[in-house]
């Protein structure tokens, strides 16, 4: 029987050694998404890229660079297997396409559930934990209406708006992105909902199983919600709320940001109203979301990852010195550095990678780099 | 004692014969604001312009044109005197400057109260009659805050939002524009408020005393509210409400349109939310209104009245025929007609005036004219 035209198995697991090298490279100190992809491309695979890390860090000026401990890597993989989580590796076929152009694309994700949800259009619906009755009703209606039109919803499994969104679109398709490990459900009251999403929907996390989420994990989680969505809708959000961070991330990633307005005398509408004043689309119904999706997205200046291989020839110390001389703690665009320096692109990119691994520079969204704060 | 530097008396009444001719010209059939001003300018005064009406109508093809009955004019003036109303005549010193550039500037207004309010910056605050508690609170807060900053509020003395606005700014300065006669207070419950505005604030109407307002008077009233205001704020408005007409008029007049948002599941916010989607500024507080007023207003294509005198030489029939040949029921700009015809500007303007008086053409906002529907 001819086997052609069979789609690739989305649940195909990578070979064990490849998975181990991938997780190890991703979990090694100062390896970010940009460097990860450049190293893999340069060395033709994760294993050889992992081996090359100390050499690059040394060229960046850090002699005692240590990749992640392999025991920790094996423990993460084993715990993931115990809870039935599948890895989605950056570069593999089943990795969601929409995440690939994020400045800081997750190097891998643990997931439980239905990977075919990635093939459908997705809308992020996020909002306040202490939502009002109107806000919860709005979240439910938007999620139901979007679901009935074939859209997948994406949210964060938090109390309030997020919970209403997942509940309302469980049967039509919903993705929950967690800040902690897949087995650390917060709030605990959502354990049942999480279990149902893990079978009927899709549960994702960048964190190792068992990780308790802390404050700094949430913005990172929020970038994945935004990345998976063509538009992010704030259903209800006070000022200085986490949902506003998701909105900012969505803008940085060139995603449409939309918001449901509320009365100014209701503090729970303050974040949404401010976003609308700043240009976010005003949403009254799922129809308004559809209209917004039909319009060309106003892309902010975005950083697009190079995909071609690059020459990894010997790196003159001078390139690093020149780069170091130009950098301050205020981020500048890699592109401008290359233009200003007048050196071959590959030399500058390679110098930056070495300096990143050595902890001398940090990367910012939009292809920006800055000197690390000492 | 030298009398220089005395400001003109804002309550100076015009001579009786001049007032009579002014009211008569304004109340004569088919005399609109544009034609009124052109005639007065051409003939050097209202009395001679009034005399010339039948001749112009005849040139436009209407032989039996009758100006308004003078008995009706005298009755209006006498009733106005009985209720203590003062006339504000287009062209007089005490006529509000901000109304002069309206396409359809009131040819005169009856007023009671403090005319010095015209000298202060004014903001229109309008909204639903069946307002919510939040809406009423918002109207009160905005009116108080604007008042404390020296702004005059302008509204329509209707139930709900309008009433809250006037009440909250009675002491700081408020103008109520009525659709009917100054002595026809609707709703009746606002008779006391109207009396207080007539002394501490300012009550205005274009209608003759005694006129009961009907539906078509309200849009005309709303253009005056918009005209007196540098910005019009919709505090709460459902779809298809009169407040939206005020907003449209304000846009046509190059006034800023602002709106207070509300939750989409509250129908009383639908009009405001739609306006914001269409570009109106989102207002959360008096501070947002101030910010909007500080920005340059996005003026829509506006019609600006000519003020210079024009040659009233004999009018060839051919000009009217050429104009008639070009006009359809779809409005076109006077300016384009003049360009296309290649005739002297005065000939075309004069032909249009004659045709308007004869009922052959109608004027539209923005300096547009169209053939009258037969």
In a domain, B5, yes or no: no
The answer on B285 and B147 residing in a single domain is yes
* Counted domains in chain A: 2
* Domain-ending residue, one of B294, B327, B348: B294
In a domain, A354, yes or no: yes
B266 vs A contacts (CB less than 8 Å): 134, 263
Residues 6+ apart with CB under 8 A from B241: B128, B271
A278 vs B contacts (CB less than 8 Å): none
Q: Name B81's bridge partners.
A: none
Q: Which of A138, A265, A282 sits opposite B276 (nearest CB)?
A: A282
Task: Determine if the peptide bond prior to A49 is cis (ω within 30°).
Answer: no
Given a contact cutoff of 8 angstroms between Cβ atoms, the answer to whether B232 and B124 are in contact is yes
**pLDDT tens string A248-268:** 888 888 889 999 999 999 999
* Domain-ending residue, one of A234, A263, A294: A294
A288 vs B contacts (CB less than 8 Å): 277
In a domain, B211, yes or no: yes
CATH of the domain at A353: 1.10.10.10
The encoded tokens of residue B262 equal 């509300």
**pLDDT tens string A59-98:** 888 889 999 999 999 999 999 999 999 999 998 989 999 9
**Nearest chain A residue to B138, by CA:** A265
Residue bearing the bigger pLDDT, A259 or B371: A259
The answer on B261 and B199 residing in a single domain is yes
**pLDDT tens string A163-176:** 999 999 999 999 99
Angle at B21 between CA B9 and CA B214, to 5 degrees: 90
The answer on B356 and B321 residing in a single domain is yes
Our measurement of the distance from residue B315's CA atom to the centroid of its chain's CA atoms, rounded to an integer in Å, reads 31
Domain that residue B361 falls in? 317-371
Binary contact (B261, A265; C-beta < 8 A) = no
In a domain, B218, yes or no: yes
The answer on B262 and B120 residing in a single domain is yes
Q: Which of B134, B138, B282 sits opposite A273 (nearest CB)?
A: B282
The answer on A120 and A225 residing in a single domain is yes
Task: Determine if the peptide bond prior to A187 is cis (ω within 30°).
Answer: yes
The answer on B134 and B276 residing in a single domain is yes
The answer on B331 and B213 residing in a single domain is no
Residue-level pLDDT at B314: 36
> A27 — phi, psi (to 5°)?
-90, -5
A261 vs B contacts (CB less than 8 Å): 261-264, 269, 273, 276, 282
Binary contact (A138, B282; C-beta < 8 A) = no
The answer on A238 and A142 residing in a single domain is yes
CATH of the domain at A158: 3.40.50.450
In a domain, B31, yes or no: no
Range from A51-55, B7-11, B185-189 carrying the lowest mean pLDDT: B7-11
CA distance A186 to chain B (A): 29
Work out the number of other CB atoms within 10 angstroms of the CB of residue B245: 18
In a domain, B300, yes or no: no
In a domain, B181, yes or no: yes
What gap in Å lies between CA B358 and CA B58, rounded to an integer? 7
Binary contact (A263, B260; C-beta < 8 A) = yes
Place of tokens 């009395």: B47
The answer on A240 and A328 residing in a single domain is no
Complex-level ipTM? 0.73
With an 8 Å Cβ cutoff, the interface of chain A facing chain B consists of 134, 137-138, 260-266, 269-270, 273, 276-277, 281-285, 288
Full 3-state SS string of chain A: CCCCCCCCCCCCCCCHHHHHHHHHHHHCCCCCHHHHHHHHHHHCCHHHHHHHHHHHHHHCCCCCCCCCCHHHHHHHHHHHHHCCCEEEECCCCCCCHHHCCCCCCCCEEEEEECHHHHHCCEEEEEECCCCCHHHHHHHHHHHHHHHHCCCEEEECCCCCHHHHHHHHCCCCCEEEEECCCCCCCCCHHHHHHHHHHHHHCEEEECCCCCCCCCCCHHHHHHHHHHHHCCEEEEEECCCCCHHHHHHHHHHHCCCEEEECCCCCCCHHHHHHHHHHHCCCEECCCHHHHHHHHHCCCCCCCCCCCCCCCCCCCCCCHHHHHHHHHHCCCCCEEHHHHHHHHCCCHHHHHHHHHHHHHCCCEEEECCCEEEECCC
**Statement: residue B181 has pLDDT above 70:** yes
The answer on B340 and B258 residing in a single domain is no
Q: Which of A134, A270, A276 sits opposite B276 (nearest CB)?
A: A276
- Average pLDDT of the residues of chain A: 86
What gap in Å lies between CA B153 and CA B201, rounded to an integer? 10
CA distance A200 to chain B (A): 30
**Statement: residue A116 has pLDDT above 90:** yes
The answer on B285 and B154 residing in a single domain is yes
In a domain, B60, yes or no: no
The answer on A342 and A287 residing in a single domain is no
């Amino acid at each position: 029987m001819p086997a052609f035209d069979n789609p690739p198995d989305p649940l195909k697991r990578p070979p064990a050694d490849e998975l181990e090298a991938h997780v190890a490279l991703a979990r090694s100190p100062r390896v970010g998404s940009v460097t990860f992809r450049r190293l893999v491309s340069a060395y033709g695979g994760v294993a050889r890229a992992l081996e090359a890390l100390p050499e690059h860090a040394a060229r960046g000026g850090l002699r005692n660079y240590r990749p992640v401990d392999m025991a920790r890597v094996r423990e993460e993989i084993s715990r993931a297997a115990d809870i039935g989580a599948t890895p989605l590796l950056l570069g593999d076929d089943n990795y969601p396409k929409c995440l690939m152009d994020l400045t800081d694309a997750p190097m891998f994700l643990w997931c439980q559930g239905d990977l075919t949800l990635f093939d459908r259009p997705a809308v992020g619906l996020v909002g306040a934990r202490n939502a009002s009755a109107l806000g919860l009703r709005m979240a439910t209606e938007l999620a139901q209406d979007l679901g009935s039109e074939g859209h997948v919803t994406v949210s964060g499994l938090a109390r309030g708006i997020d919970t209403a969104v997942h509940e309302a679109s469980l049967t039509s398709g919903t993705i929950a992105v967690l800040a902690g490990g897949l087995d650390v459900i917060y709030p605990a009251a959502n354990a049942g909902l999480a279990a149902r999403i893990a079978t009927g929907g899709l549960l994702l996390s960048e964190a190792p199983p068992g990780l308790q989420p802390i404050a700094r994990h949430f913005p990172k989680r929020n970038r994945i919600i935004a990345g998976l969505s063509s538009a992010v809708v704030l259903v209800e959000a006070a000022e200085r709320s986490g949902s506003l961070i998701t909105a900012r991330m969505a803008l940085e990633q060139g995603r449409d940001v939309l918001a449901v307005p509320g009365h100014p005398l209701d503090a729970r509408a303050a974040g949404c109203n401010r976003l609308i004043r700043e240009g976010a689309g005003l949403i009254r119904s799922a129809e308004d979301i559809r209209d917004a999706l039909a319009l060309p997205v106003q892309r902010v200046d975005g950083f697009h990852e190079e995909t071609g291989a690059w020459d990894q020839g010997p790196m003159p110390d001078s390139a690093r010195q020149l780069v170091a001389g130009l950098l301050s703690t205020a981020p500048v665009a890699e592109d401008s550095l290359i233009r200003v320096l007048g050196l071959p692109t590959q030399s500058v990119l390679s110098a930056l990678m070495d300096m990143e691994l050595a902890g001398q520079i940090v990367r910012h969204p939009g292809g920006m780099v800055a000197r690390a704060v000492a």
